[in-house]
Amino acid sequence: MTSENGRRAGGDRRRVAGGATNGGGGASWAAVEAAVPEFAAVVRERFGAYRHHVLATLRADGAPRLTGLEADFRRGELWLGMMTGSRKVLDLRRDPRFALHANPGGGTDLAGGDVRVAGRAVEVTDPGLRARYAAAVKPPEPFHLFRARLTEVVRTSVEPPFMKLEIWRPDRPLRTLRRTSEDPELLEGPERPTSEGSGGFEAP
């Protein structure tokens, strides 16, 4: 990412109700559940299988940063709580785009599938909302709180002889792809950027 793109992404943030910073669209978790309830249930169950997951953010120079994070599904939102002063907080304030990969667990069988979400993290600054969250979750104080605005939800699973990909994006139907090692067009085709602001990539 160039510095110009980074400035554009940072400049796209704007204030929204509840004292949050909106990174330019995306769906709440409630919207995902309403659009594809069965798929959403599988994704949520996969995140719920383990406590810690892997968050990807962008450093100031555009390089990726990976850190551990707990994900909390509550009241129709995906909440991301973080320690005060952590690098990932600074990353998201500068550029709200993120990806969150569910802990795959042990073994190699991909039990429950391999799940990730991507979008923009909206920082919550409203004192009342933060107080209600703290009362319910009891995170270590002080903390930063973000809620996810999702632009992509993906589940990968094994369906012999296929690798099955299920991809959901706002205002689009759930898309299912099945790939094999003998299908080079699907496996090796270049990724194509999605429409501007999506925060993800089109599957080849």
> What would the mean pLDDT of 150-166 be, rounded to a whole number?
92
Q: What is the mean pLDDT of residues 30-50?
A: 95
Average pLDDT, the chain: 81
156 in Cβ contact with 88 (< 8 Å): no
Q: Which residue has the higher pLDDT, 180 or 27?
A: 27
pTM of the entire structure? 0.76
pLDDT tens, residue by residue, 70-91: 999 999 999 999 998 899 999 9
Between 55 and 22, residue with greater pLDDT? 55
pLDDT of residue 192: 41
Residues 78 and 30: their CA atoms lie apart, in Å, by 9
The pLDDT value recorded for residue 186 is 53
Least confident of 13-27, 36-50, 74-88: 13-27
- Residues 77, 28 contacting (CB under 8 angstroms): yes
Q: How confident is the model at residue 144 (pLDDT cuts 50, 70, 90)?
A: very high
Domains belonging to the chain, first-starting first, are: 27-181 (2.30.110.10)
pLDDT at 105: 82
Q: Over 50: is that where the pLDDT of 1 sits?
A: no
**Spatial CA neighbour of 46 closest among 177, 175, 197, 157:** 157
Note the pLDDT tens digit of each residue in 109-140.
666 789 999 999 999 999 999 999 888 988 88
pLDDT score recorded for residue 107: 67
C-alpha distances in angstroms, 129 versus 19, 23, 135? 9, 19, 10
Residue 180 above 90 pLDDT?
no
Beta bridge partners of 145: 81
